[in-house]
Amino acid sequence: MSASPTAPLLDVINLCGLRIGSPQVLGPIRLVPILRDDVRGDLRLALRRYDEGLGVVGLDKKAPGDGLSYVSYVPHGLVVQWTDDGSPLPVCGGRLGKKLKSLRGDIVKNDIRFLHRMAKREDKNQLRMLPLHMAMEGFLGHYFNGPDIAWQEYSAMALSDGLSPRVEEAVSGRSLFCLDEALRVFEINDCQVGVLLFIADALSSVFIVSHPDDYRALHKSLIDDFFAEYFIYYSQLFGDQGLTVAAQRRDVTSLADLADILTTLRRDWARMHETMADDLLGRTIHARRRYRTGPFLLQDFMTDLSKREGNFIGEAISNAEGGIEYLKVFRITRQQRSRALILAALDANNWNIDQAAAQYSETREDFVLRLEKYGFGYLLRAHVLEAAHRMAYKRRQ
């Protein structure tokens, strides 16, 4: 195998080599196509459905379910195939190559699928991955170990097992008003490889693949992705309103005039949607290498945790030039951001409660109550929580 340049870790999310198309809107759902004019063809993706739904993914060398595991609703995986020399992959019957090899080691028991690893190499040039779940597992794994100093405030369980279990919530796209209908009636462009998905004009997800044929096959799989819970409410805000376009009136005397107006409108739409997505596009991210697939690099990432902008986690495959061949993004909620920030404060202060409280400009007792509010009260000994509640009660008198 000839040596190939190493794909870099991404430091920002941008659409270099891609362009934004004209939006389509149904009620609260705005689907903005992402177009690729120069298609490489040496990396392809296909869907692998899991009928069981519930998945238990082993994250260490132990069998899934016996060691550190990730548990979630997992409706499908993605199979990635690539070539090392840049030659295009053949397509046969809408599937990649002659046959997609099945994952060795999967176990199905009592309607639960047990899987090894978030990304599992199945063949020389074939990788199975669990879309979005890899990003969520990376997010959950941040500061997962908990205190590494035996501070007297922490429970015996926290000192021995860390933040186990660490839980975050999301909802299926099937719960969102109009999303299934929008995906059904959405007109797919010939060179479309992705979509910006806005719900009530808030960027909720981004999905990009390397090849237009793959996007066409995977387009409807967006309904099985997971979204922040508040998008259930967002999706009900606009009812059944459609898109109204206001354009400056001008004399139209020929098809050329009409084409000129349309070109201008499309350019303005692209600028508008790039601005609407600026919480993510051009934003600094913190990426982590997960798997090198020939000349490509699979990675997960988080944006910095901002109190003013939307915050995102995701996963990407970059090529040797730093371009995006695959991208999936999940927008975390304010509460998830706050939970991550409080863990970051503890980790930065060696899990010393007094020092972390000072970072928040709070008393020790207020910080303990904050920990309990965000679901981490189980980390603390009972007398620590009781003392914080007594102090809060005295202040209310």
Read off the pLDDT of each residue in 173-184 and give the average, rounded to a whole number.
93
| pTM of the entire predicted model | 0.87
3-state class (DSSP) for residue 16: coil
Predicted confidence at residue 18, as pLDDT, reads 94
Predicted confidence at residue 239, as pLDDT, reads 54
Share of the chain above pLDDT 90, in %: 59
Q: Which residues pair with 38 in a beta bridge?
A: none
**pLDDT value at 226 more than 60:** yes
In this structure, of 2-6, 29-33, 178-182, the range with the lowest mean pLDDT score is 2-6
**pLDDT value at 248 more than 60:** no
Predicted confidence at residue 193, as pLDDT, reads 97
Read off the pLDDT of each residue in 217-228 and give the average, rounded to a whole number.
95
3-state class (DSSP) for residue 24: strand
Read off the pLDDT of each residue in 217-223 and give the average, rounded to a whole number.
95
Read off the pLDDT of each residue in 31-36 and give the average, rounded to a whole number.
95
In this structure, of 103-117, 138-152, 213-227, the range with the lowest mean pLDDT score is 103-117
Which tens digits make up the pLDDT trace of 349-359?
A: 999 999 999 99
Which tens digits make up the pLDDT trace of 139-163?
A: 998 878 889 899 999 999 898 888 8
**pLDDT value at 188 more than 80:** yes
Q: How far apart are CA 60 and CA 68, in angstroms?
A: 6
Domain extent listing, the chain:
19-276, 352-396
Please measure the distance between the N-terminal and C-terminal CA atoms of the chain and give it in whole angstroms. 75
Alpha-helix runs per DSSP H in the chain: 133-141, 156-161, 179-185, 212-218, 231-234, 255-276, 334-348, 353-359, 364-373, 382-396
Share of the chain above pLDDT 70, in %: 88
Structure tokens at 56: 């238990």
Q: Is 255 left (phi over 0), alpha (psi -120 to 50) or beta?
A: alpha
CB 42 within 8 A of CB 315: no
Predicted confidence at residue 267, as pLDDT, reads 73
Predicted confidence at residue 4, as pLDDT, reads 56
CB 181 within 8 A of CB 31: no
